[in-house]
Amino acid sequence: MFLSVIRAGRGRAFPLLLLILAAGLLAYPDMQPLLGIREAQFDHYQRVLPRERDSEPVVIVGIDSQSLVKLGQWPWSRDLIAALVDKIQAGRPLALGIDVVFAERDRYSPEILAKHIPGMTANTRASLPDPDEKLARALKGPPTVLAVVGLSKALPGGRHPSKPLPVFDQDAARDRFLPHFVSALASRPVIASGAAGEGLINATPEQGQADNQRGVLRRVPTLAFVHELPFLSLPLEMVRVALGTEGSVQTEEGPQGMQAIRIGDYRLPVQRNGELLLHFGRSSSNYYLSAADVLAGMHDPEIFRSRFVIIGFNSTGLQDRVVTPLGESLPGVDIHAQVIESVLAGQALQRPYWLPWVEMAVLLGVGLSLIAFIPRLRARYAVLSFALASIAMLTGGYLAFFAARYLFDGASLLLLLCPPFISLLGNTLITAETLRRNAEAQLQQSREEAARMNGELDAARRIQMGLLPDTARLFPDERRFSVSALLEPARAVGGDYYDCFMLDDRRLCVAIGDVSGKGVPASLFMAISKTLTGTLTRRHAELGTALRDIEAELDRENPEYLFVTAFIGILDVESGHLDYVCAGHDAPLIVRNGQLLSIDTRDIAGPPLCAAGGYPFESAGMQLQAGDLLCLFTDGVTEATNGTDMFGSDRLRAAIATCGTVPVQDCAPALRNAVRRFEAGHPPADDLTLLFLRWHGPTGAQD
């Protein structure tokens, strides 16, 4: 008992170490390969249950290829942009967002034209309209929001946007997790003066890391600071300005930073750094309109009423395309539309600060349970237990997503638990195999010792060997053929047998068999098999019929479900014709004129006797030539081992090939000695039985 406790403790120490290492890896989830596995699992959640896009509160007016063909290449004149804004504003939308930064002067502004038209007077220049001012006037209709790009470095051309959140309570503990930009790329002040707000269009500040190397956008920022001034993202700013005085912005904080952001009565769960884990819906072209069609008046302005409208690029070469977790490649402006839909529906994916702690608790709980119980279970039940735990973790992740859009990382937990489980299962299998072998060895040793003490095994061996014919004395005056045989049990008694006898003056019957198992049961079954072989081959002229009757008699009373392989042949010693039948036994070999042949038993070979029951065994025949040497053997020859390799058929064939000119009486001992030399002192793996028969011809000549 004490030794088993020590062994069990050692078997659990290494899995426990692996579990501790797994917990350390889980504490740093942004490391590969856990990051890739986790994100792939979360993406699969969305593919299984994408967000339903029941309504279409957003209309996207795209600057597409059709618009560029009809209205000219980009950048367009601000006059044209102003006309497009006027067409949209006529429909009185809730808010208009422009996903374009007008950072430079219009190329048709008086100042730019004066540089390109020599001789233009100051009066002429003063009389020309300024397209930027015209666009600014157009933006003063219903609420409009301009795009701003946050810059991590102060670059030339960068400027501070002029319309931060009007009211926002700053909190140092919360704000340190939010993105901070030192400068920004914003529209010219004259244009921004006409807008109601400015919103950031940056992607997540973690771009360039693992997510974006795969080209998949999963997170979008909601709130950031530019030169220490707070700005919402473009879609959230559109919602804020659409609400007017009711669009106050508030945040909900937890121990780890932000938990949610509120815009009026709308609430959106976010991460501690203000990022929104966007729940994507399937893309649709229903809410896309061409800017050229809008300018041409092909759409009734009523289409924009009480909707959010976004002007953005939707043309190859101009748009920024992103790949979503659903596997779709979308223009960046479509992400703004999905954010607005998420705000209005109050839906977002959630991975709160406490969820990684839940995952850690599940990892340790399941891991410690495996370490505690797996060594006590059988291998099949251990595998079943781990499979059920794996299914529970993966299913729990899907249920959490379906119920509340929580992102539970069951896949990483499964991956991290595999090494401890494999180690535990290996220890369990090794322990079980060791105990089984020890039990078998002890049982066999006790049986053999008891049998030896009573003299039973010695008596059984003498009886068994006495049942076998003595080929040296059996045919003293025979000149037509020569026979020699040898049997050496692996233990005191064995399950192999051979037999040879004359059916009449010209027919010689030879047989060899191998009973399954070893020891006393096999030896008893061997004795019955040999007796039946001699009796029934004498009774039936046809070998197939004889073999079927042998099987029927053996199978009549076979409580141990033993089976036996057998080969029986009848040689006409006058003509050299050999009839034979095979029941799952190795095909005999023939040495003919220095060449080694194999008797073809493929067409008539059946299963071992008592293995299938009622098999219709059939016989076949072949013609021997004078001088042919026939070798029958059991698998104790080919399966003999030296601890590393087995004797095998190649070594057997090579050894038999040398017996072509050797007297038959010397063949069996020579082959036996070759096998024992190969074993190099290792105990025999199985009983070894050999029978050699040489046909000299109808008149014959002794070896």
* pLDDT (tens digit per residue) in 331-347: 888 999 999 999 998 88
> HSE-up of 582 (CA within 13 Å, CB side)?
19
Last residue of some domain: 318, 342, 366? 342
Is the pLDDT at 12 greater than 60? The verdict is yes
Over range 205-213, report the average pLDDT.
40
**Same domain flag for 551 and 404:** no
Q: How far, in Å, are 336, 530, 670 from residue 588 at the CA level?
A: 82, 19, 17
Give the pLDDT score at 427. Answer: 85
Helix H or strand E encompassing 327: none
Over range 128-143, report the average pLDDT.
85
| 455 within some domain | no
**Same domain flag for 424 and 498:** no
351: how many CB neighbours lie within 10 A of its CB?
17
Over range 4-25, report the average pLDDT.
74
pLDDT-derived band at 126, boundaries 50, 70, 90: low
**Same domain flag for 337 and 417:** no
Give the pLDDT score at 121. Answer: 62
Task: Determine the structural domain holding residue 392 and report its residue range.
Answer: 2-43+356-437
**Same domain flag for 229 and 303:** yes
**Same domain flag for 9 and 145:** no
| 263 within some domain | no
Give the pLDDT score at 206. Answer: 41
The model's pTM is 0.60
Position with higher pLDDT, 670 vs 12: 670
Give the integer Cα–Cα distance in Å for 296 and 246: 36
Give the pLDDT score at 451. Answer: 61
**Cβ distance 608 to 584 under 8 Å?**
yes
**Same domain flag for 481 and 411:** no
**Cβ distance 646 to 615 under 8 Å?**
no
Give the pLDDT score at 492. Answer: 75
| 256 within some domain | no
Over pLDDT 90: what percentage of the chain? 39
Over range 613-622, report the average pLDDT.
90
Give the pLDDT score at 2. Answer: 38
Residue 407 CA to its chain's centroid (Å): 22
153-167, 236-250, 414-428: least confidently modelled range: 153-167
Last residue of some domain: 309, 342, 375? 342
**Same domain flag for 161 and 300:** yes
**Cβ distance 198 to 237 under 8 Å?**
yes
Is the pLDDT at 429 greater than 70? The verdict is yes
Over range 647-668, report the average pLDDT.
90
104-108, 401-405, 458-462, range with greatest mean pLDDT: 401-405
| 382 within some domain | yes
214-223, 303-312, 470-479, range with greatest mean pLDDT: 303-312
Give the integer Cα–Cα distance in Å for 564 and 551: 9
**Same domain flag for 377 and 323:** no
| 700 within some domain | no
Helix H or strand E encompassing 690: strand 688-695
Last residue of some domain: 300, 320, 342? 342
Give the integer Cα–Cα distance in Å for 385 and 379: 10
**Cβ distance 601 to 579 under 8 Å?**
no
Nearest to 236 by CA among 343, 310, 348: 343
Give the integer Cα–Cα distance in Å for 238 and 530: 98
Contacting residues for 193 by C-beta, under 8 A, at least 6 apart: 136, 162
Give the pLDDT score at 703. Answer: 59
pLDDT tens digits for range 73-99: 888 888 999 999 999 999 999 999 999
What integer best gives the mean pLDDT of the chain?
Answer: 86
611: how many CB neighbours lie within 10 A of its CB?
18
**Cβ distance 85 to 138 under 8 Å?**
yes
| 254 within some domain | no
Helix H or strand E encompassing 190: helix 189-192
| 251 within some domain | no
Give the integer Cα–Cα distance in Å for 199 and 237: 6
Give the integer Cα–Cα distance in Å for 217 and 338: 13
Give the pLDDT score at 453. Answer: 61
> HSE-up of 236 (CA within 13 Å, CB side)?
31
**Cβ distance 463 to 491 under 8 Å?**
no
For strand 58-64 and strand 183-185, is the pairing parallel, antiparallel, or unpaired?
unpaired
Backbone angles phi, psi at 577, to 5 degrees: -80, 130
Identity of the residue numbered 650: D
Give the integer Cα–Cα distance in Å for 427 and 127: 92
Is the pLDDT at 455 greater than 70? The verdict is no
pLDDT-derived band at 37, boundaries 50, 70, 90: confident
**Same domain flag for 430 and 475:** no
Ramachandran category for residue 155: left, alpha or beta (phi over 0 → left; psi -120 to 50 → alpha): beta
For strand 688-695 and strand 481-488, is the pairing parallel, antiparallel, or unpaired?
antiparallel
Rounded to a whole number of angstroms, the distance between the first and last alpha carbons of the chain is: 66
**Same domain flag for 175 and 221:** yes
Nearest to 658 by CA among 677, 638, 674: 674
Position with higher pLDDT, 575 vs 492: 575
3-state secondary structure of 29: coil
**Cβ distance 59 to 340 under 8 Å?**
no
pLDDT tens digits for range 540-582: 889 989 999 988 888 887 888 889 999 999 999 999 999 999 9
pLDDT tens digits for range 357-414: 999 999 999 999 999 888 888 888 888 999 999 999 999 999 999 999 999 998 989 9
Give the pLDDT score at 74. Answer: 87
Residue 592 belongs to domain with CATH number? 3.60.40.10
Is the pLDDT at 3 greater than 60? The verdict is no
Question: Based on the structure, what is the number of domains in the chain?
Answer: 3
pLDDT tens digits for range 261-294: 999 999 999 998 889 999 998 888 788 999 999 9
Give the pLDDT score at 32. Answer: 63
pLDDT-derived band at 205, boundaries 50, 70, 90: very low
**Same domain flag for 168 and 66:** yes
Give the integer Cα–Cα distance in Å for 507 and 429: 55
The alpha-carbon radius of gyration of the chain (Å, integer) is 46
Nearest to 195 by CA among 138, 134, 129: 138
| 459 within some domain | no
Burial zone of 130 (CB within 10 Å; 0-12 exposed, 13-18 middle, 19+ buried): middle
Give the pLDDT score at 482. Answer: 93
**Cβ distance 256 to 163 under 8 Å?**
no
pLDDT-derived band at 118, boundaries 50, 70, 90: confident
Is the pLDDT at 5 greater than 60? The verdict is no
Identity of the residue numbered 61: V
**Same domain flag for 401 and 322:** no
Which residues, listed in sequence order, are joined to residue 592 by a DSSP beta bridge?
595
Q: At what angle do helices 78-89 and 131-138 cross, to 10 degrees?
A: 10
